[in-house]
Structure 1
Amino acid sequence: MDILQTAAQALAAIRKSKPLIHHLTNYVTINDCANITLAIGASPVMANDPQEVEEMVSHAAALVINIGTLDATKVQSMIAAGKQANTLGIPVIFDPVGVGATSFRRQAAGQILQAVQPTVIRGNMSEIKTLAGFEAVTRGVDSAVDTADGDQAAQTVAKKLNCIVTITGKMDLIVSNQGLYRIDNGHPLLANVTGTGCMATSLIACFCGVTTDYLASAVGGIAVMGIAGEIAERSLKPDEGIGTFRVRLFDAVSNMTPELLLRHGRVNQG
């Protein structure tokens, strides 16, 4: 079956089963991640304290670990939740936000990835190059590198960590041991709204919560965000800007159907 068709079936399953997605995420985009999870048809929970994360994740269909706003206690919670998810066979979606910006972030990401087996990693080019050990430059949590060696960086991380790796950018790249896919959906306005990367990670988790085809899950989550960005931009009037675009983005995700995903998804293998 075509990978986009598998993703479309998973989208229908999300709407039907409303999987619970446990987020250990950052306080800048936590509300956006919760709302995008609701928009796609899933159910978000944001529980951070070390005393409850293991119990909470045991109820979830997928776990998001997002290191955007770190502290030592949160790292402890992320490791505890991730290890419990691994024990229970719950997929873990890791977002290494700004991993190359500081030594603390690099060390924390290393600790998490040493203790927790990720299912999918989603990051920008700079973040994935940092995980791969390539030279990369990070401005805050934003990427400041070109796309050179992107395929190699993603393949290096996928092989080293035995997981699926997604690089989001002008052309989205998804790599696993099963192959490489490129997604040519999206709009430049997505880069002007805080949290669209974090929201894409949440969407991937929603797909992972209903199917064990995690490669199709990564494709589905990224394609939905890209298509929604295109729909939101086309709806703008000349005097409307990124505030309206942001609202229309949520509308487009909430109105996404398997048919729209199949019609507008531009996914190519290799």
Structure 2
Amino acid sequence: MNAAVPFPPSPGEALRLLRARTPLVQCITNSVVTGFTANVLLALGATPAMVDIPGESSIFAAIADGVLVNLGTPTPGQSAAALEVPAATRRWVLDPVAVGVLPVRTALASQLLAARPAIVRGNASEILALAGMGEGGRGVDAIDTPEAALAAAAAIARRCGAVVAVSGPVDLITDGTEVVRVSGGDALLTRVTGGGCSLGATMAAFLGVCAALPAAIAASVVHSAAAEHAAARADGPGSFAVAFLDALAALEPAALDQPGRLARLALDAPAEMLR
């Protein structure tokens, strides 16, 4: 098992480390996106393993470099496997898909949140619902903006000691002390099944080489940059999905650290600066 780097690396440095170390990523994820998620991890330079059987999940989580727990299709078996993860590792990501709207996954998400994941990743409506400040979105789609979920994200981060990543046109990432915004990307990523779910897996991969905050930032930057490159050569969602995988594999680490993609502020900054 790879040891995490104690000093937070930049997104480009994190990608170099990931490709050098090939982190092993366990995915307990929904049945709709398993293939795409595995291909995203392979293109990035990580190794996916879809180990989601009770009795095996905790064993594998103990040797994995990062774990994704995605609640997109929480069957009884997957739910039991997910609940085994926190006892085996702290390097795991919770993706609370469609919480607030549906009761079974909402209760499961609350239970898993109390087990203190390293990262929570969701859209704005999911994060609001998880914090008890909203009722969820329209199925898996958000009806709120990331900025509207900032207070909810900060509250979850402070309560659970997690980094919270809110996906949207501009991703918002907070550890409860500061907020980082990641700009860029392309709307075509929202028209491919698994765009958001695979982002959670990428965050789990980066947990194998760095701490939670730089892991979430690096993953968001990687997906944003790859989406831009893919959109430039795609004719629509189908060709975009293939181009996105190619773009992940072709990303140059130095390009991720160019100025302008990240904005970083303390959460106690004046309100007008936080917008």
TM-score in terms of structure 1 length: 0.91
Question: 2:13 corresponds to which letter in structure 1?
Answer: Q
Matched, 1:214 2:212: yes
CA contact (8 A) 1:4 1:219 kept: no
Question: 2:239 corresponds to which letter in structure 1?
Answer: T
What's the counterpart of residue 260 of structure 1? Answer: 255
* Offset, 1:264: 7.1
Counterparts of 2:263 and 2:160 in 1: how far apart (Å)? 24
CA contact (8 A) 1:23 1:45 kept: yes
Question: Could you say what secondary structure the match of 2:94 adopts?
Answer: strand
What's the counterpart of residue 160 of structure 2? Answer: 161
What's the counterpart of residue 44 of structure 2? Answer: 40
Matched, 1:195 2:194: yes
Counterparts of 2:219 and 2:136 in 1: how far apart (Å)? 26
Counterparts of 2:70 and 2:9 in 1: how far apart (Å)? 28
CA contact (8 A) 2:128 2:134 kept: yes
**Alignment of structure 1 residues 72-83 onto 2, 5 Å:** 72-83=76-87
RMSD value over aligned CA atoms?
1.7
Please, which of 216, 229, 232 is the counterpart of residue 227 of structure 2? 229
Counterparts of 1:162 and 1:148 in 2: how far apart (Å)? 20
Question: 1:53 corresponds to which letter in structure 2?
Answer: S
What's the counterpart of residue 104 of structure 1? Answer: 104
CA contact (8 A) 2:155 2:176 kept: no
CA contact (8 A) 2:67 2:201 kept: no
Between 1:256-265 and 1:201-210, the stretch displaced more is: 256-265
Matched, 1:127 2:131: no
CA contact (8 A) 2:16 2:253 kept: yes
CA contact (8 A) 1:136 1:145 kept: no
- For residues 21-46 of structure 1, the C-alpha deviation after alignment (integer angstroms, 9 at most, x for no partner) is 01111100011111111111010101
* Offset, 1:132: 1.1
Question: 2:250 corresponds to which letter in structure 1?
Answer: N
What's the counterpart of residue 94 of structure 1? Answer: 94
Task: Flag structure 2 segments of 5+ consecutive residues without an equivalent.
Answer: 1-6, 266-275
Question: 1:123 corresponds to which letter in structure 2?
Answer: G
Counterparts of 2:208 and 2:155 in 1: how far apart (Å)? 26
Question: Could you say what secondary structure the match of 1:73 adopts?
Answer: helix
Task: Flag structure 1 segments of 5+ consecutive residues without an equivalent.
Answer: none
Question: Could you say what secondary structure the match of 1:143 adopts?
Answer: coil
Counterparts of 1:105 and 1:166 in 2: how far apart (Å)? 19
- For residues 88-124 of structure 1, the C-alpha deviation after alignment (integer angstroms, 9 at most, x for no partner) is xxx111100111221111111112223x220000000
Counterparts of 1:138 and 1:219 in 2: how far apart (Å)? 24
What's the counterpart of residue 248 of structure 1? Answer: 243
Query: Given the superposition, is the C-alpha separation of residues 252 and 4 from structure 1 closer, same or farther in structure 2, using an over 3 Å criterion?
Result: farther
What's the counterpart of residue 269 of structure 2? Answer: none
Between 1:225-234 and 1:177-186, the stretch displaced more is: 177-186
Moved over 3 A (4+): none
